[in-house]
């Protein structure tokens, strides 16, 4: 084994991702495949992979300059980082924050996120389906943000909320442009 580099198989395209062993000898985080440009999450201990590399969820790369307000995008990117680092509660809280940013940007009135979502729905800014999606994110966000013995995030719920949040953001900011 060449100790100067660590080779990892890209879970997307199968090409080798070659890492310098000195900075990556013990490492938990993200790496980018030079072949397919996708990012994956890895964990290396003592120069060896300890988990199967997992492809990291990301916004559709086709949207090179998405018309999504930067602060909403930044929160959503942070949600992706939390998900990739197996921090489900933090992931869901960041999804809720993205959603809150979206309701504010859409000039929703109300004091709580719940009231803002209702306001957008009452004013026909969001459909019944989007209203249900917003409510699902908000409910889980509350479980993620407030500690109690019964506030538990079930396995897989972070991925589901990340998916729903991505759909909501694309629906509000990207879909209207595609219809033009
Ligand atoms: Zn690749």
Cα–Cα distance between 65 and 119 in angstroms, integer?
A: 29
Distance 41 CA to ligand 1 centre (A): 12
Q: Write down the pLDDT at residue 158.
A: 94
- State both tokens at 18: 């070659």
Residues 93 and 28 in one domain: no
pLDDT band of residue 174 (cuts 50, 70, 90) is confident
Q: What is the DSSP letter of 19?
A: E
Query: Residue 32 C-alpha to ligand 1 middle, in angstroms?
Result: 8
Distance between CA atoms of 75 and 9, rounded to whole angstroms? 29
What domain range is 38 assigned to?
A: 5-55
Residue 140 DSSP SS3: helix
Residue 113 resides in a domain:
yes
How far does residue 63's CA lie from ligand 1's centre (Å)? 19
172 and 107 both lie in a single domain: yes
Residue 17 CA to ligand 1 center (angstroms) comes to 8
In a domain, 60, yes or no: no
Which residues have beta carbons under 5 A from ligand 1 (an ion)? Answer: 10, 12-13, 33, 35-36
Residues 50-104: pLDDT tens digits? 999 987 755 544 444 557 888 998 999 999 999 988 899 999 999 999 999 999 9
Tell me: do 85 and 171 sit in the same domain: yes
Task: Read off the pTM.
Answer: 0.67
Structure token pair of residue 53: 């590399």
pLDDT of residue 28: 86
> Could you tell me the distance, in angstroms and rounded to a whole number, from the CA of residue 38 to the centre of ligand 1?
6
In tens, the pLDDT along 104-125 reads 988 899 999 999 999 988 887 7
Kindly give, in sequence order, each residue whose CB lies less than 8 Å from that of residue 82, ignoring residues fewer than 6 positions away.
Answer: 88, 90, 91, 94, 158
Distance CA 150, CA 153 (A): 9
Instruction: Please indicate, yes or no, whether residues 171 and 105 belong to a single structural domain of this protein.
Output: yes
């Amino acid at each position: 084994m060449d100790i100067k580099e660590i080779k990892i198989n890209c879970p997307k395209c199968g090409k080798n991702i070659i890492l310098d062993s000195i900075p990556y000898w013990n490492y938990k985080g993200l790496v980018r495949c030079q072949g397919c440009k996708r990012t994956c999450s890895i964990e290396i201990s003592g120069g060896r992979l300890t988990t199967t590399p997992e492809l990291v969820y990301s916004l559709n790369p086709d949207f090179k300059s998405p018309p999504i307000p930067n602060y909403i995008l930044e929160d959503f990117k942070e949600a992706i980082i939390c998900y990739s680092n197996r921090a489900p509660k933090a992931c869901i809280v960041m999804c809720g924050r993205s959603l809150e940013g979206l309701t504010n940007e859409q000039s929703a009135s109300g004091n709580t996120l719940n009231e803002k979502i209702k306001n957008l729905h009452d004013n026909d800014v969001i459909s019944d389906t989007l209203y249900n999606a917003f409510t699902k994110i908000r409910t889980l966000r509350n479980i993620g943000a407030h500690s109690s013995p019964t506030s538990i995030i079930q396995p897989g719920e972070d991925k589901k909320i990340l998916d729903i949040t991505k759909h909501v953001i694309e629906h509000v900011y990207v879909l209207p442009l595609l219809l033009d």
